[in-house]
Amino acid sequence: MGKDKLRKFRENLSFECFVQPEFDEVFRRDYRLKGHWRSDFFHNDRPIVLELGCGKGEYTVALARQDPQRNFIGIDIKGARMWRGAKTATESRMPNVGFLRTRIEFINGLFAEGEVDEIWITFPDPQLKTRRAKKRLTSPLFLEYYARILRPGGVIHLKTDSKHLYAYTNEVIRRFGLPCEVSEPDIYGSGFADEVLSVKTAYEQRFLGMGLPITYTRFRLDGRRDFPWFDWEEDEKLEKDNEQERLAGR
């Protein structure tokens, strides 16, 4: 491990906005802040917004600057990346920003039922292999996680360059009859992007430079708690196409 990465790991622990539970504090048990993020961490009773897979935390920080009346928590497992957002929030003295280093699979041990008001998912790994579909952050497995922590009527936002993930998420919404408020395949080309959606992460800048359209989906779970798994035919088609391209390239 590089010295700079180790330095960032150490510095993360000095930031008041940075929380890094030990594995045995969250694995199959409830973390001490579960149900107490407002009172014990933010020291207010304002709404809580999560950014899942926050990377460097650009979106978390930008959203918090735009809306100081809400609390924002960026979640990721990559501590060296999160260092940038945590350092910016610390230097800018932003009391409504937190960063939580953990696996998203542990989220139900970290937040209580109805404790979260909104979820942002920005440029996650689309997990294009069929066998990894369960790891998609909009898969039925993860929707069951979110259903336990989102307040009634809480919104989920997905912003991605992946046409496959965008289509998959819309299929999930259709299959489960979820209320979909927005499904926009090109937020910049259509002029749909507002001040919030125009926030650009490092990944987004790269994708825009490649000429890729940026998609946006906003939906709610509407009180649904069960999301049975299903196999999407487009996943199998994509995998077959990729295999054919691989063999043709030999």
Task: Please report the domains of the chain, with CATH numbers, ordered by start residue.
Answer: 3-248 (3.40.50.150)
d(CA 233, CA 28): 34
Q: 1-15, 22-36, 42-56: which range is least confident on average? A: 1-15
pLDDT of residue 108: 96
pLDDT of residue 4: 86
Q: Is the dihedral of CA 133, 134, 137, 138 positive or negative?
A: positive
**Cα angle value 16/45/105 (rounded, 5°):** 65
Q: Is residue 242 scored above 80 in pLDDT?
A: no
Q: Is residue 146 scored above 80 in pLDDT?
A: yes
pLDDT of residue 249: 64
pLDDT of residue 238: 85
SS3 at position 82: helix
Q: Is residue 25 scored above 60 in pLDDT?
A: yes
pLDDT tens per residue, range 93-132:
999 999 999 999 999 999 999 999 999 999 999 999 888 8
d(CA 108, CA 26): 9
pLDDT of residue 109: 96
Catalytically active residues, by annotation: 125
pLDDT of residue 243: 60
Cβ(22)–Cβ(90) under 8 Å?
no
Cβ(55)–Cβ(81) under 8 Å?
yes
pLDDT of residue 213: 96
Close Cβ partners of 76 (under 8 Å, ≥ 6 residues apart): 53, 54, 55, 82, 99, 101
Kindly report the pTM of this predicted structure.
0.93
Q: What's the first-to-final CA gap in the chain, in angstroms?
A: 35
pLDDT of residue 60: 96
pLDDT of residue 1: 61
Cβ(126)–Cβ(164) under 8 Å?
yes
pLDDT of residue 15: 95
Q: Is residue 237 scored above 90 in pLDDT?
A: no
pLDDT of residue 37: 98
Question: What are the percentages of helix, strand and coil residues in the chain, rounded to 5?
Answer: 40, 20, 40
Mean predicted confidence (pLDDT) in 30-46? 98
Mean pLDDT of all residues belonging to the chain: 93
Q: Is residue 34 scored above 90 in pLDDT?
A: yes
Close Cβ partners of 244 (under 8 Å, ≥ 6 residues apart): none
Close Cβ partners of 220 (under 8 Å, ≥ 6 residues apart): 153, 154, 155, 156, 178, 179, 181
pLDDT tens per residue, range 126-138:
999 888 899 999 9
Cβ(13)–Cβ(85) under 8 Å?
no
Q: Is residue 187 scored above 80 in pLDDT?
A: yes
Looking at the DSSP bridge assignments, the partners of residue 152 are: none
- Tokens 């993360």 sit on residue: 12
pLDDT of residue 192: 96
pLDDT of residue 42: 98
Mean predicted confidence (pLDDT) in 196-211? 90
